[in-house]
Amino acid sequence: MLVVSERRDCARNMDSSQKDDRGVEEVRAIAINIVLLCSGVIGLGQNVGVTPSRFKEICAAERAANIDLSGARQLHGTFRDQTGASFSDSYAVELRDPSTGDVLKLASLDSKGQFELQRLSYGRANLILVLMKNGKPTRTGFESPQWLECTKSEDCNLDVVLKAAPTDDLRYQCPLTQESR
């Protein structure tokens, strides 16, 4: 009788240890799934296959001139998105030197998305819209304008409509400031 009782106790202990192992296996499977999920997400944020020198080339092309202001003394206009909505006063327009990326002029937008730059004396330049956060320019999530045409020589008026930028395009990951280049 004693032997049967010990065997039952041993069988119960084996059943409970197998249940414990199943719990450990479930936790292990969940941990593996979390690691795989996180590593996939991290991989999405990397510029896989792009060398640092190629990334610099892409960013240099992003700074290319998109407007010729030869003869223009004043530049004003409106920035809107594809829906026709104006950008707000938390945005600014920067006129940049295409070779260095340095900001030549800066103008905040008003609540109607309008801006004005005066006393211009530049030739080709790069005009971009930036979102101001804590006094620093950041990317907007919109494509930079392509070539912009001035309709009058001294008084240039623009109505710029920006398209949403693709999230996987490296041009829109380029830094805006000199320090981070």
**Amino acid found at 24:** V
Rg (CA), the chain: 29
Q: What pLDDT digit, counting tens, does each position of 41-61 carry?
A: 444 445 566 788 887 887 777
Q: Where are the alpha helices (DSSP H) in 45-152?
A: 52-62
Q: What pLDDT digit, counting tens, does each position of 104-154 carry?
A: 999 999 999 999 999 998 889 999 999 999 989 988 889 888 899 886 678
Q: What pLDDT digit, counting tens, does each position of 4-44 carry?
A: 455 455 445 555 545 555 666 776 667 665 655 544 444 44
Give the pLDDT mean for 68-86: 93
Question: Comparing C-alpha atoms, which of 48, 62, 66 is closest to residue 172?
Answer: 62
